Amino acid sequence: MHSNHLIDETSPYLQQHAHNPVDWYPWSDKALQKARDEDKPILLSIGYSACHWCHVMEHESFEDESVAAIMNERYICIKVDREERPDLDKIYQLAHQMLTQRPGGWPLNVFLAPDNHAPFFAGTYFPKEPRHGLPAFPDLLRRVASWFHENRDQLKEQEAAIRSRFQSIEPGGHTEEIRPDVLDQALNQLQQQYDPVHAGFGGAPKFPHPTNLEFLLHYTASHPQNTSAPDMLRHSLQAMASGGIYDQLGGGFCRYATDELWMIPHFEKMLYDNAQLMPLYVDAWRIFDDEVFRRVAEQTGEWVLREMQSPDGGYYSTLDADSEGEEGKFYVFSADEFRQLLSDDEWAVVRSRYQIKGKPNFEGKAWHLHIFSTDEEVAKKTGLPENRVRELIASAHEKLFAHREKRIHPGRDEKNLTSWNGMMIKAMAHTGRLLDRRDFIDSAERALTFIQTTMLCNGRLLATHKDGKTHLNAYVDDYVLLIDAALELLQTRWQTSHLNLATTLADNLLTHFEDRENGGFYFTSDDHEALLHRHKPTADDATPSGNGVAAQVLLKLGHLLGETRYLDAAERTLKWLYASIASYPSAHGSGLIAIEEYLSPGRNIILRGNPAELDAWSAKAALSFHPQKQVYAIPDDEIGLPGVLAARQAHNGPVAYVCSGHQCSAPLTDINDL
């Protein structure tokens, strides 16, 4: 079988294209030099393994010999996995937006000059034949190549314009005063974007926007007199928990809903979405005492254990939307399957709960589960006691899940990404602690051990691992999200090695990523490959902004250790980022949470004592919930710790210190005083 230059790559997405007739290269010095030597434009095509339209374009064009012949003759073709190379993806998504005046997406196809890699034409999906107002890809390939060779004088002008635009989109200046009213402005913006009927923000397609929800959770906890934040938060979490975007049988959330009702998702499941939503649901359970939220958090964690953790401990990246070549086939049921699998009583409650009647809701041919009725409403409709309804739903779900497990499963992208692992380590540790699920905490500790032994070398991180190969310089997200994970695990079970990891990563973050002159952190390190632009992330996208999380973790770590270097770097970051936040607050959930922590530092409760006695004190400290509160229970035999962490009491019992910002209480030796 023919293979191209992708055959030795670790990315499953690149491997999917390794046998295309297109002479694909990975992004590499070899490919870039070949483009210069042959004076051919570069066709840079970026996607990821769970991307539906990436698969469509591959089948239509990249597997077609005639299309491949045009590509190979006129271009140097480079394939990139956006999950492994977010540095390239961020640059060229921005370039697409500049060139086309509309947002990008995947697949992203960008045409670059061979000498400086400046983009001169860009688009997303192109069909093989002209349709939907889009040109045929083969015609486009010919026209773009001709333009490149006939308009070389314009390329230099376009490169200069693109570079100038890149510089202009970075926030300017350095704000001296960080004002709390930006938090209220963000809330007002979210109220305007909010869907009061179906919940969530915006219309179809509808995304969860977890950083917005996390901001609302913090606002709810810090502004108890406010009603709009908790209403938007609770309604949105309830709607998603009831929707088809949530896997009602197996747990876990899909990427987004294609409709405003949250009913029919795009069926891919991403590690990062679930890593953000799971701790949100468990925190909302603590605030609202809603059992649905607890169930969703727990089921999602169980899905992670069952399907997303490798034997080595690392978390996998994604589950595909497709199985057997069809999107959603794994998840949906026909009415006949329901009738064959379920007893009469089970069928009665399932039909009532999910409104299975009339035309099927998935493409008119099958049913995807979306909750329409509560247990109480189903009980009224069926005349059954509510506890019996719950029993029947549980037994029906067991049968449907067991049947579904026999099907051919969607493909799984089994690479381990450091940043996404950091997010899920934090999520599993946090959820495990609040739900008293030791298996979740064990899972998080296994994953952190995997990252430390596989992705860390001399205090520096690598970004991706698969099939025994670890490579690619890590990005700012890898560092800050792993620091966040280590701090979360310190609250579940103190290990000084986790604190040492966090400080080592923070020191390297300051050394290799910080813009000391202007504040904030670059996405790539100072020894990273030189690219068209060295980007500094501002707003959140599908994952939180690296600068927003950097400010959060440096504030947490700085206050915990009394380390002014970290606090000063966080302050510089927020003063640089503030102009961007103030211009559009609701796009900066992670930055807003950092601002709240900067203006009103949360409480650190430090407990020292005999491990056997600390459990009762930890339980007492955890009775009240606030998202900004951290509790660290440190056994007496942990020595050599800095600042207040080192405090130990001469008498026999435990001691507690309650700290906020730069101040700590007198030592508390009576559990009732705590």
Span 268-293, mean pLDDT? 97
Query: What pLDDT does residue 650 have?
Result: 52
Residue 279 lies in a domain: yes
Q: Which token pair is 179?
A: 């004002």
Binning pLDDT at 50, 70 and 90, where does residue 640 land? confident
pLDDT score at 6 = 98
Residue 174 counted as domain residue: no
pLDDT of residue 258: 97
Interval 412-429 mean pLDDT: 98
Please state the rounded mean pLDDT for residues 93-100.
95
Q: Report pLDDT for 331.
A: 98
Residue 311 sits in the same domain as residue 335: no
Report the pLDDT averaged over residues 579-589. 96
Domain contains 230: yes
Q: Is there a contact between 361 and 367 (Cβ–Cβ < 8 Å)?
A: yes
Last residue in a domain, options 355, 371, 406? 406
Residues 553 and 427 in one domain: yes
User: Angle at the Cα of 550 (from 544 to 553), degrees rounded to 5?
Assistant: 105
Residues 548 and 459 in one domain: yes
Q: How confident is the model at residue 648 (pLDDT cuts 50, 70, 90)?
A: low
Query: How does 621-636 read in b/e, with b if 16+ C-beta sit within 10 Å?
Result: bbeeeebbbbbbbbbe
**Quick check: 304 pLDDT over 70?**
yes
* Position 2 in a domain: no
- 3 occurs within a structural domain: no
pLDDT value at residue 612: 86
- 3 state DSSP class of 457: strand
Q: Do 158 and 188 sit in the same domain of this protein?
A: no
> Once rounded to an integer, what is the mean pLDDT over residues 71-75?
98
Average pLDDT over the chain, rounded to an integer:
95
Q: What is the pLDDT of residues 476-534, one digit of tens each?
A: 999 999 999 999 999 999 999 999 999 999 999 999 999 999 999 999 999 999 999 99
Reading across the β-sheet that carries 318-319, which strands appear in turn? 269-270, 318-319, 412-413
Beta bridge pairs of residue 470:
465
- Give pLDDT tens digits for 130-146: 998 899 999 999 999 99
Task: Kindly state whether residues 298 and 419 are assigned to the same domain.
Answer: yes
pLDDT of residue 642: 86
Give the integer Cα–Cα distance in Å for 636 and 613: 11
CA geometry: angle 273, 277, 283, nearest 5 deg: 160
pLDDT tens across 537-549, in order?
A: 999 999 999 999 9
Residue position matching structure tokens 């296994």 = 446
The span from the CA of 155 to the CA of 149, in Å, is 10
Q: What is the mean pLDDT of residues 114-125?
A: 96
Q: What share of the chain is helix, strand, coil (3-state, %, to 5)?
A: 50, 15, 35
CATH number (domain holding residue 140): 3.40.30.10
Is the per-residue pLDDT at 631 higher than 90? yes
From 210, 206, 189, select the one nearest 197 (Cα to Cα). 206
The model's confidence at residue 175, banded by pLDDT at 50, 70 and 90, is confident
628 three-state secondary structure:
coil
257 and 319 in a single domain? The answer is yes
Exposed, middle or buried by CB within 10 Å (0-12, 13-18, 19+), for 579? middle
pLDDT number for residue 169: 82
Residue 674 lies in a domain: no
- pLDDT of 649 strictly over 70: no
**Mean pLDDT value across residues 301-323:** 97
The answer to whether 477 and 549 are in contact (CB under 8 A) is yes
Structural domain contains residue 4: no
Neighbours of 651 (CB within 10 A): 7
Q: Is 269:278 a contact under the CB 8 Å cutoff?
A: no
Domain match, 543 and 423 both: yes
By C-alpha distance, which of 629, 576, 640, 636 is closest to 608? 636
pLDDT digits (tens, 9 = 90+) for 236-249: 999 999 999 999 99
Q: What is the CATH number of the domain that holds 374?
A: 1.10.10.10
* pLDDT score of 651 more than 80: no
Residues 145, 29 within the same domain: yes
Q: Are residues 561 and 655 in the same domain?
A: no
pLDDT value for 204:
94
At residue 604, the 3 state secondary structure works out as strand
Closest to 211 (Cα-Cα) out of 502, 587, 650 = 587
Q: State how many domains the chain has.
A: 4
Domain boundary among 599, 619, 647: 599
**pLDDT, mean of residues 166-195:** 91
**Among 360, 378, 406, which residue terminates a domain?**
406
Per-residue pLDDT tens for 40-54?
Answer: 999 999 999 988 889
- Give the Cα separation of 420 and 481 in Å (integer): 8
pLDDT band at 646 (very low <50, low <70, confident <90, very high): confident
Contact partners, residue 377, CB within 8 Å, separation at least 6 = 352
pLDDT by residue (tens digit) across 324-345? Answer: 989 999 999 999 999 999 999 9
Percent of the chain with pLDDT over 70: 99
Residue with the larger pLDDT of the pair 664 and 299: 299
Q: Which residues, in sequence order, are bridge partners of residue 309? A: 315
Say yes or no: 337 and 425 in one domain.
no
Q: Is the pLDDT of residue 391 over 80?
A: yes
**CATH code for the domain of 193:** 1.50.10.10
At residue 295 the predicted structure's pLDDT band, cuts being 50, 70 and 90, is: very high
Beta strands in 15-104 (DSSP E): 25-26, 42-47, 76-81
* Residues whose CB is less than 8 angstroms from the CB of residue 629 and which lie 6 or more positions away in sequence, other chains included: 602, 603, 605
How many angstroms separate the CA atoms of 37 and 413, rounded? Answer: 35
| Same-domain status, 218 and 342 | no
Q: In sequence order, what E strands does 36-157 have?
A: 42-47, 76-81, 108-112, 119-123
User: Which residue range(s) make up the domain with 341?
Assistant: 331-406
Residue 6 falls within a domain, yes or no? Answer: no
Helix (H, G, I), strand (E, B) or coil at 611: helix
Say if residue 515 is in the same domain as residue 430.
yes
